[in-house]
Amino acid sequence: MAAEATSGGQYSFGCELLDPITNTLRPYNIAMWPFDASVEVYDPTSRRTILKRCRPRESISVDDFFLGNTITVMSRPYVVRKYLSPETEARFATKRATSLCVIKPCSTGHAGTLVDELLTSGFDIGAVRMVRLSKAEAEEFYRERRHRPSFVQEVEFLAADAVIAVVVSAEDAVSKLQGWAGPANPADAAEALPGSIRARFGTDAVRNAVHVSATPAAAASEEAFMFARERSIPAVFRHCSALVIRPHAVKAKAAGQIIQAVLDSGMEISGLRSVALEGRDIEDYLEPYKGVLPEHSRWMTELSSGTSIIAEVRGEDVVPRLRELCGPYCPEIAGHLRPDSLRARFGINRVQNAVLCTDLPSDGPLECKYLFCVVDA
């Protein structure tokens, strides 16, 4: 970074933004100057600059600009898709690559632990999505494995229940993720890499905890497959409560621990995805708090500052149980009254208080349907 700081050079990225009116992806070019963390946004369609060079209110680092990641600039979420200059590609292509990890049905109960271990192993998480594949979709996903004797069993198991797709980035991400997962057969993993995920969580070559991409090309193809709009989400919108992991907690790499705390409490996560919430979506979602909580406007700003992770949580008496797990709005009060609560553990203040959850039992299905069906990813 020393050369960048002294030269004042810029990097250029091709990005996409979902147009809420036409429901189509529009291209935008973003230039970023690492020296002062300033950005400029250009619309190649209209051939005009829509944001002159400035430091946006969101905290943006040059390390956030890796392929597949969502960059929020002035409350608008742009997905980084390509590099626009040789200098940019030279700086990022070899140092920040992406790969895909799919948490299989046998390991979704450990999903939070696996996400946390990805984060503590040096990976950044670009996107998360829980999906439910049909048998035909599972066959398509595993099409390169048709020659394997275990192909039918692998397909049936992948389609047996929901899976969680996680896009990760790191230097040499594909091989690093393979080392993190370990050999496909847990017995081989236990011998060669006893600390690997498959050695610790896998039971056999089919129920081996996770799928990870084999090559960079496979990673790109599999990511596109898992995050395609037509993939079915498993959320059911009944007897449920909504949970939003706030952007500051996601940036602090607390998402895995929060997810696992929900699972360890005996509740089920039946829907999960990352999303960059925008102005109108946030305004509608926080409408019940307007005029009630003095932090309402600052909550809106915080929720628009980056990626959130949303979940549909289910279980008996789920709304009061999840509310109790989250704790009082103020982390300081939560620390005194419920020191094991999520806000006591991961909250900073009344605005950056780690999580939002449904307050009234009757609102659970409505909030979950809004977050998963109305708010676009």
Q: Could you list the mean pLDDT of each consecutive 10-residue stretch along the chain, which spans 377 residues? A: 48 88 84 92 96 89 82 87 90 79 97 98 94 97 94 97 96 94 96 96 97 94 93 95 97 97 98 91 92 91 91 98 97 97 97 97 96 82
- Is 110 an active-site residue? no
Please state, in angstroms and rounded to a whole number, the distance separating the CA atoms of residues 373 and 370: 5
pLDDT at 178: 97
pLDDT at 375: 86
pTM of the model: 0.83
CA distances from 340 to 246, 247, 251, 311, 346 (A): 18, 21, 21, 20, 10
Domains and CATH numbers, the chain: 2-92 (2.30.29.170), 97-226 (3.30.70.141), 240-374 (3.30.70.141)
Please state, in angstroms and rounded to a whole number, the distance separating the CA atoms of residues 165 and 181: 14
pLDDT at 20: 67
pLDDT at 224: 93
pLDDT at 95: 63
Q: Which residues contact 334 (CB under 8 A, 6 or more apart)?
A: 327, 328, 341, 343, 344, 347
Note whether 328 and 316 are within 8 A (CB): no
Please state, in angstroms and rounded to a whole number, the distance separating the CA atoms of residues 190 and 302: 43
pLDDT at 4: 39
Query: Which one from 110, 147, 211, 239 is the annotated catalytic residue?
Result: 211
